[in-house]
Amino acid sequence: MKPIATDTHDFPKLREKGCIYVDKTRFIHRLVTDVGTNLFFISRPRRFGKSLTISALKALFSGRRELFKGLYIDGTDWKWEKYPIIHFEFNDLTTTSLEEFEKDLAHHVEDRLSEVGFTYDSSRSAHENFGKAITELAAKCREERGNSDGGVVILVDEYDAPVGHALGDIDFAEKVRDRLSAVYSQMKNRTGDIKFLFMTGVSKFTRLSVFSALSNIVDVSQRKEYATMFGYTEDELSANFEEHLHEHARIMDKSYDAYRAEMKRWFNGFRFTPDVKTTLYNPISVALTLDEKSASGFKATWATTGRPSMLMNFLKREDVLRIDPEATQKVRAAAFDVAELRDLQPIAMLYQSGYLTIKDYQSGRYVLGVPDEEVRQDLNMLLTGVAANRSMTWASRLGDHLLEAEWDDFFDGLKSLYAAMAYGPTEGRVHENAYGRCLSFLLASCGYEFKMEDVQSNGRADIVAKNPEMVCVFELKVDEPVDKAFVQIRKKGYAEPYLADGRPIWLIGLSFDSKTRRLVDYAAERL
C-alpha cells in the first residue's frame, strides 16, 4: 500500500516519498491557463489542502515537471517554464502585540524576497520592498526571456490568518488588517508585472485592500468549476485509498459497505458551491483515520489538529444561544463576506471555518447545516463550553458523567451550565428556547444521536438521546415540579418506541425557574 502523508503540505516531499496524492492538477491547469484573468482567491476551511495546492503551484512555476509525472497536467501542453516566485505564508505570524506583529511581518517579507534573489533594503518598509521586488523581478524575468512573456508569480497562503488570530481585540485586529493592507496594496499598480496570483484563506475580509485594489481578482470560492478542488469525492476516495479502506474495514470487523457508509457519515458532508451538490470528505480526517486504522472505529480527528483561532476569538455566549447549527435557513450570499470587523456574524464565522456547510440553495438563499458527525461532535462541545463560559474539557467530562450514569456529578454540571446562561441577553423567549438547545449541544458533543421534539403518536418528547450504551428520554419543565416531567413521560409513553432494542432506558426530568433561568430541580429514573 502507498504511504499516507499526515503531517506534510509539501508537494515535492509528498511526491518524492511516493505518498498518496489525490490528483487535483486539472483544477490547477484550469487556473493557470485561464484567459480571463490571472489573479485568483479562494476560501476554504483549515486543513483542506490549501497549503498543498500552493506548494504544487510553486513546483509548477519552478518548472519541476518530474514531480508531476503521471498527473493530469503532465499530459497537457503546459510549457514548464521557470518564473520568479514570491511565496508568503502568514498563518504563523506573531500577533501578541502590534509591535511584535510588525517586526515579524517585516522579517517574513524580507526572508521570502531574499529567497527569490531580491536585495532587501532595510531602510524601506516591508511593503515598499515588496512593491519594488515585483517591479524588479518582473523586469529581470522579461529581460532573460527576451520577450514580454514574463512576470512574477505571487502565492499567498492564509492571507487572512493574522486578522483572525487578533479577533479577540477588534481594535488590534483592525490595526493588523491595516498593516497587511499596506503590503497587499503594492500589487494595485503592478498587475502588468504579475504573471499569476493565487491567494488562499479561511474568510474573505472584503475591507483588506487586496480586494479593493485588485478589481479584477476573481473569487472562485463558490464557482462550480472549482467545487471539488479541495476535499475528496467518493470516487476519489475509492480510486486512491481502496487498499487502506478494505484493510481498515477488516480491522474493524465490518462489511465493506457498512464501513463505507459509516465513514461517509463521519467525514463526508462538505459542500462549497450552490450549483454542485457533490459532498466532500475532509482530507486530513481521511489521512489520520486511515493511517491509524483503529479497531475501535471512527473518531473526531479534525479538532486534534487545532481549532481555528478566528472562531475561538469571536464566539460569544449570547451568539451561541441563538444558533441552531443543524438547520440555519434563508442565509443570503452577502453573509459570507466579512466587511466590518465590528459587525461579524456568527453564521458567517461558523461557515467560513467549516463548522457549517451548504445543505441546499433555493431562490437566492442558502440552507446551512453541520457537515458530518466529526464536526458535529466538535462544534457542540465548543458551543457547550462557550455557553457555560467553561473549557471544552469540562464539557467532555460532563458527557462522561452522563454516559456512566453518575447523576450527582452530571446534574451539578448542568446546574453550572444553566447558571452561566442566566447572565446572557434579557429576552425571555431566547432563554426558553435555549434550555433545550444547550442540552442538545452537550449531547451531540458526546456522540449521542438525539432528536429535539421527538414526534410520537401520543405527543412530542422534548429530547430523546441514544448511543450504543443507553437511551435517555428528557422532559423539561419551567416553573413546574420535576415530578410532572415523569408523569408526562409515562402517560404519553415517550420511552415505548425504544423498549425493543435492549439498551438501558433512563428517564430524566429537568425543572427550570423562569425568573432566574436556572436549573432548580432534577431527577433520573431507570425504566
Is residue 363 situated within a structural domain? no
Pick from 169-178, 282-291, 317-326 the range whose average pLDDT is largest: 282-291
Longest CA–CA separation in the chain, Å: 88
Look up the CATH number of the domain holding residue 414: 3.40.1350
Spatial contact of 3 and 17, defined as CB atoms under 8 Å apart = yes
DSSP 232: B
Cell numbers at residue 421, please?
A: 446562561
Is residue 108 situated within a structural domain? yes
Which residues, at least 6 apart from 487, have a Cβ–Cβ distance to it below 8 Å? none
Distances (CA, A) of 418 to 107, 346, 511: 47, 21, 11
Q: How far apart are CA 401 and CA 383, in angstroms?
A: 18
Q: Are residues 504 and 413 in the same domain?
A: yes
Q: How far apart are CA 455 and CA 461, in angstroms?
A: 7
pLDDT for 457 beyond 70: no
Among residues 286, 304, 322, the one where a domain terminates is: 304
Please tell me the predicted confidence (pLDDT) of residue 394: 65
Among residues 304, 324, 356, the one where a domain terminates is: 304
Which is more confidently placed, 92 or 239?
239
Please tell me the predicted confidence (pLDDT) of residue 308: 62
pTM of the predicted protein model: 0.80
Q: How far apart are CA 159 and CA 87, in angstroms?
A: 11
What percentage of the chain has pLDDT greater than the value 90? 53
For 387-420, the pLDDT digits (tens) are 555 555 666 677 788 888 899 989 988 887 777 6
Q: Are residues 144 and 125 in the same domain?
A: yes
* Closest residue by Cα to residue 481 from 459, 509, 452: 509
Q: Are residues 196 and 244 in the same domain?
A: no
pLDDT for 71 beyond 80: yes
173-189 mean pLDDT: 90
With cut-offs at 50, 70 and 90, classify the pLDDT of residue 145: confident
Which residues, at least 6 apart from 335, have a Cβ–Cβ distance to it below 8 Å? 345, 347, 348, 351
3-state helix/strand/coil string of 1-21: CCCCCCCCCCHHHHHHCCCCC
Look up the CATH number of the domain holding residue 214: 3.40.50
Q: Are residues 430 and 478 in the same domain?
A: yes
332, burial (CB in 10 Å: exposed 0-12, middle 13-18, buried 19+): exposed
Please tell me the predicted confidence (pLDDT) of residue 423: 46
Q: Are residues 19 and 151 in the same domain?
A: yes
pLDDT for 195 beyond 90: yes
363-379 mean pLDDT: 87
468-476 mean pLDDT: 89
**Residue 252: which domain range?**
234-304
Is residue 320 situated within a structural domain? no
Please tell me the predicted confidence (pLDDT) of residue 430: 41
End-to-end Cα spacing for the chain: 50
Is residue 155 situated within a structural domain? yes
Q: Are residues 134 and 56 in the same domain?
A: yes
Please tell me the predicted confidence (pLDDT) of residue 428: 45
Q: Are residues 168 and 245 in the same domain?
A: no
With cut-offs at 50, 70 and 90, classify the pLDDT of residue 327: low
Is residue 54 situated within a structural domain? yes
Is residue 185 situated within a structural domain? yes
Q: Are residues 441 and 499 in the same domain?
A: yes
The beta-strand segments (E) located in 116-230 are: 152-157, 194-201, 204-205, 218-219
150-159 mean pLDDT: 94
What percentage of the chain has pLDDT greater than the value 70? 87
pLDDT for 433 beyond 70: no
Q: Are residues 498 and 482 in the same domain?
A: yes
Among residues 304, 319, 354, the one where a domain terminates is: 304
117-143 mean pLDDT: 95
Residue-level length of the chain: 527
With cut-offs at 50, 70 and 90, classify the pLDDT of residue 427: very low
Is residue 330 situated within a structural domain? no
Spatial contact of 200 and 155, defined as CB atoms under 8 Å apart = no
Total tally of structural domains belonging to the chain: 3
Please tell me the predicted confidence (pLDDT) of residue 514: 81
- Computed over every residue of the chain, the mean pLDDT equals 86
Please tell me the predicted confidence (pLDDT) of residue 372: 93
Q: Are residues 415 and 478 in the same domain?
A: yes
Is residue 429 situated within a structural domain? yes
Pick from 243-257, 391-405, 464-478 the range whose average pLDDT is largest: 243-257
For 254-312, the pLDDT digits (tens) are 999 999 999 999 999 999 999 999 999 999 999 999 999 999 989 888 866 666 666 66
327-342 mean pLDDT: 74
Q: Are residues 179 and 273 in the same domain?
A: no
Q: Are residues 183 and 300 in the same domain?
A: no
